[in-house]
Amino acid sequence: MDLKEQVLNTLSSAPYIGAREIAERHSLTVEELNHAYKAIQTSEECQKRLLTSINRDYFETVREYFGKELYTVIFFVGLGCPYRCPFCPSVTIEKDGYRKLAKFRKGPGDRKLEYRDFEKIFADIEQMQKKGIIVEVKISGGLEPYTDPETVNWILELASRQNVDSTIFTNGVLLRDPKNREIALKSDKLRISLGTVSEEAYADEYFGEHPRNKRSNSLGDLQKTIRQLVQDRNDSGAATAIGMNTVVGEFNFHELEQVVLDAHDFGVDYIAIKGDYFKQKDDEWFDKVETATAAISGHTRDGKIGDMRVILTGSQERSSFLNSSLQGKCLPIDQAMRQMFIDPFGQCTPVHCWAFPVQEKEQERHTTSLNEHTGLQKIIEKTNDFPLIDYSKLNPFELIISLESERQRQDLAFGVERDCNPYISPHNVSNPDSLNFRSFCNC
């Protein structure tokens, strides 16, 4: 096996390993390693192999966020949520089964962000764009964005004016209102979470059984809403890509195949299937995922059913490095250089675990307040004062950003040349399963 092949195999299975360790494992000098990295970087075949490997999420994220300088601003605009998902970071399940939802709270001197605040944020985004950074916005998690449709509308209009790509993550319930659907179709992408075909499982999973947790929607209602949204999109000629997001777990292993077939029937453009990343998974869990996905594969051709793409995130695969419980701590600034969360009261933070509204763990939230004197750039710099975060608290995207930032620092110190990153290639190879897999809330 030639040198390039040996190094490529090691990187494919452990993409975060630094140059020193690679050199030691393969008995290479710095010059030989630079040569091997350059050969991998400039080979279209090698790039394709990385982007279709088990650890494809890593390589894809590095290409986008370090290669193209992508930056994501995530607006957590929701003020409430009709659901009470057991896997939601904003939900606490009490002893009697009551599912309590945390809400964002106003800090001293805080006020809810107004239109002029969003104009200011987008002025800061424009400055970033002028420096060549590609900025995208996500309207996501925390709580359900459509509990504040006016703010969703402001963000989408400002994003569109500035050519900023926009994605909405929603549970879809409030899209039953035609005005909300009209707003939704101003986005570039919209992803609705749904993981079951059974009314009973829908009620149990998303609302719970406690009488104080009101079941305000039925599965039938939501299915009707999704069909109507697709219809509205087709009638209006809007370019919004509509997808479904399905979290896999014990409650839906047995019906995953039908969830995918239903999604196709609704007319959505894709379905993304992913595991609850923070749940401990054993071999039995992976066996069930493999059985379910094998059944789905029976309906797909080139990863599609008709025109609908079926996307299985790499993090669900048994031997993905994301399932190897890596130990370590992350510098918050590494995250702040790639993403920033902004809550309804202008509190900003670079990691998802500090972005959600919390109940009794309030002290664990580290944020900086956006105001007249503190714009996005200042906020990014201020994260240098935040404490280190344990890897176990990061979502897959954040873990990749942290590992790659550290890998690049170590490589430079070891003598790897700046233009020899094996993952940042001039070849425009793309992963057909590319999902932009990150999503912060499981909803």
Please identify which residue in 72, 167, 402, 442 interacts with ligand SF4, judged by CB under 6 A: 442
Q: Which is nearer to ligand SF4, 71 or 169 (CB)?
A: 169
The two three-digit tokens of residue 31, written as one number = 């010059």
Q: Which residue is nearest to ligand SF4 (CB)?
A: 443
Contact between 98 and 160 (Cβ < 8 Å): no
Nearer Cβ to ligand SF4, position 49 or 99?
Answer: 99
| Near ligand SF4 in 54-83, by CB under 6 A | 81, 83
Whole-number minimum distance, CB 74 to ligand SF4, in Å? 13
The site for ligand SF4, by CB under 6 A, has a size of 14
Q: What's the closest the beta carbon of residue 176 comes to ligand SF4, in angstroms?
A: 15
CB of 441 to ligand SF4, least distance (A): 5
- What are the backbone dihedrals phi and psi of residue 227, each rounded to the nearest 5 degrees, phi first? -60, -40
At closest approach, how far in Å is the CB of 324 from ligand SF4?
A: 26
User: For residue 335, which phi and psi values (nearest 5 degrees)?
Assistant: -75, -40
For ligand SF4, give the closer residue by CB, 36 or 139: 139
**3-class SS string, the chain:** CCHHHHHHHHHHHCCCCCHHHHHHHHCCCHHHHHHHHHHHHHCHHHHHHHHCCCCHHHHHHHHHHHHCCEEEEEECCCCCCCCCCCCCCCEEECCCCCEEECCCCCCCCCCCCCHHHHHHHHHHHHHHHHCCCEEEEEECCCCCHHHCHHHHHHHHHHHHHCCCEEEEEECCHHHHCHHHHHHHCCCCEEEEECCCCCHHHHHHHHCCCCCCCCCCCCHHHHHHHHHHHHHHHHHHCCCCEEEEEEEECCCCHHHHHHHHHHHHHHCCCEEEEEECCCCCCCHHHHHHHHHHHHHHHCCCECCEECCEEEEECHHHCCCCHHHCCCCCEECHHHHHCCEEEECCCCEEECCHHHCCCCCCCHHHCCCEECECCECHHHHHHHHHHCCCEEHHHCCHHHHHHHHHHHHHHHHHHHCCCHHHCCCCCCCCCCCCCCCCCCCCCCC
Distance from first CA to last CA of the chain, Å, rounded? Answer: 45
Binding residue (CB under 6 A) for ligand SF4 from 144, 148, 334, 411 = 144
Residue closer to ligand SF4 (CB basis): 315 or 421: 315
Q: How far is the CB of 212 from ligand SF4 (least distance, A)?
A: 15
Q: Which residue, 292 or 441, has its beta carbon nearer to ligand SF4?
A: 441
Give the Cα separation of 204 and 85 in Å (integer). Answer: 9
- Measured from the CB atom, the residue of 180 and 405 that comes closer to ligand SF4 is 180
Shorter beta-carbon distance to ligand SF4: residue 84 or 382: 84
| Contacts to ligand SF4 from residues 84-143, by CB under 6 A | 84-85, 88, 90-91, 141, 143
Minimum distance, C-beta of residue 168 to ligand SF4, in the bound complex (Å) = 12
* Smallest gap from residue 175 Cβ to ligand SF4 (A): 13
Closest distance of CB 298 from ligand SF4, Å? 30
83 vs 277, which CB is nearer to ligand SF4? 83
Closest to ligand SF4 by CB, 144 vs 404, is 144
Q: Which is nearer to ligand SF4, 144 or 257 (CB)?
A: 144
Interaction of residue 421 with ligand SF4, rule CB under 6 A: no
50 near ligand SF4, judged by CB under 6 A: no
* Binding residue for ligand SF4, selected from 171, 252, 383, 408, defined by CB under 6 A: 171
Q: Work out how close the CB of 422 gets to ligand SF4 at its nearest, in angstroms, rounded to a whole number.
A: 37
CA atoms within 13 A of residue 119's CA, in its CB half-sphere:
4
CB of 84 to ligand SF4, least distance (A): 6
Q: By CB under 6 A, what part of segment 319-358 binds ligand SF4? A: none
Which positions touch ligand SF4 (CB under 6 A)?
Answer: 81, 83-85, 88, 90-91, 141, 143-144, 171, 441-443
